[in-house]
Amino acid sequence: MSAEVQKFDVVVIGSGPAGYVAALWAAERGARAALVEKKYLGGTCLNVGCIPSKALIHCVEMLDMARSGKRFGITFGEPQVDFDKVRGYKDRVVKQLVTGVEHLLNKREVAVFRGLGRLQGPGEVAVELEDGTVSLQADRILLCTGSEPVCLPMCSLDDPAIMTSDNAVNLPGPPKSLAIIGGGAIGLEFAYVYSGFGTQVTVVEMLPRLLPSEDPEASEVLARALVKRGVKIAVNSKVTEVADSDQGKRLVYECEGECTTIEAEMALLAVGRRASTAGLGLEEAGVALERGRVQVNERLQTSVPSIFAAGDCLRGIGLAHLASHEGLAAVDFALGREAHVNLDCVPSGIYTVPEVASVGLREHEAQERGLEITVGKFPFSALGKATVLNEREGFVKLIAEPGTGRMLGGTIVGPKATELIAEVALAVENQLSMEDIADTIHGHPTLNESVGEAALAGLGTPLHNLP
């Protein structure tokens, strides 16, 4: 029996931050849109990634605030953690947001198909539903299939003592000890979470420092903060063995020719993510891949002219906001409109305490390229609001072009860095200068004043910090 056939203007495969946003935007643009999702409506981000992990981080922040009450003259008993209720709070946040996405899709009359979608050609997607197969035909198809955690060869994801970011948000309780393999954003966020809940955490990073893609000074500030929380850190260390032990897992890592063994109840793999493109019929349909990543041109168009792609399936880096922005652009390109994606101005954020955020060019990148730059830097220790909050660690660092002062990028490590980076991103995207930032009145007392102060420093006229 032939499959049922339904026709649309645009079919989107994958409902993460790229896919569901793209489907909504296609409908907003007047197209009849379909959305295909095999597992989670809302994708990794809403269900097992950004949102649940930030809910857990918020719980740990609340716990830290309660523990530090004496410093502010507020005294009460030692805070107690009911992990079932913590997990329940996290689950309610996820359910509320996923329900919101469902409501938006319904209101915009996007047809949602729950099942595995496979390309059958340039204009057709076969979806395997629970009760059969449906064929979706469209002039334009958009791939938004996301990414998945990378697994090390010596590990098995079937091992209950081995976890990735996908299941680290759903533990029945904090383990007594946890070895985290990988010192990037994901690994360090979970190091913050579980150390806050009382787990003895060890982070093993193969490269010379934590957060190797971020500013080295920012990495140093965060490393010190984690060590203060009791997190053990090993850098320049390559894991060579992961095996069972009486405690749970035994890890062996090599550093400068010497091997070290650590024991932990559980191990978390945080060694990166890869594009999720297997089993979708992409190559059979003529879509070019490179190391599993979908290849696109500047209009987010694949090697098949009627098929476009956006988000993590292009690069596997796990930035939901970039995925959403590309989802919007891919729809516009597919519908013959113009759009804009600036890959040189993509903010990144690590939601630890202190937070780390950056956008555009980092200082060390400029140095590696031999570029001349102007740097403006301001420490949170000199800021009134940071002192009020007793969160004085970190700094704002702005990077500009000499002469013109045009903003090229910036790094912030400190309180609410992931919020403060927005002003820097706006300046970089719109080619504003340090002088433009300095001339803007920043409210007082606010954390945002730090950005204006850094601009003044970069102009050679520091106000509240000494040169």
Block residue for tokens 């606010």:
446
Number of folded domains that form the chain:
3
Answer yes or no: do 263 and 281 share one domain: no
- Encode pLDDT of 166-201 as tens digits: 999 999 999 999 999 999 999 999 999 999 999 999
Answer yes or no: do 266 and 206 share one domain: yes
Angle at 463 between CA 461 and CA 467, to 5 degrees: 65
- Please indicate, yes or no, if residue 78 is contained in any of the structural domains: yes
Helix axes 19-28, 320-334, angle to 10 degrees: 40
Position 421 pLDDT exceeds 80: yes
pLDDT score, position 2 = 58
pTM of the model: 0.96
**Which of residues 432 and 315 earns the better pLDDT score?**
432
- Please indicate, yes or no, if residue 14 is contained in any of the structural domains: yes
- Please indicate, yes or no, if residue 463 is contained in any of the structural domains: no
How confident is the model over 307-327, as a mean pLDDT? 94
Answer yes or no: do 369 and 316 share one domain: no
| Mean pLDDT rounded to a whole number for the chain | 96
Asked whether 269 and 262 are in contact (CB, 8 A), the reply is: no
Position 317 pLDDT exceeds 90: no
444 has catalytic annotation: yes
Answer yes or no: do 112 and 56 share one domain: yes
Asked whether 310 and 290 are in contact (CB, 8 A), the reply is: no
- Please indicate, yes or no, if residue 420 is contained in any of the structural domains: yes
Domain that holds residue 255: 162-271
Answer yes or no: do 407 and 365 share one domain: yes
- Please indicate, yes or no, if residue 464 is contained in any of the structural domains: no
Of 422, 423, 421, nearest in space to 412 by CA: 421
- Encode pLDDT of 25-37 as tens digits: 999 999 999 999 9
Half-sphere exposure of 297 (CA within 13 A, CB side): 10
pLDDT score, position 1 = 44
Q: How many helices (H) and strands (E) does the chain have?
A: 14, 24
Q: Are strands 249-255 and 407-414 parallel, antiparallel or unpaired?
A: unpaired
Position 286 pLDDT exceeds 60: yes
Integer Cα distance of 399 and 434 in angstroms: 9
Residue tagged active-site, from 58, 364, 444, 464: 444
Please give the radius of gyration of the chain, using alpha carbons only, rounded to the nearest integer. Answer: 24
Residue where one domain finishes, among candidates 254, 271, 288:
271
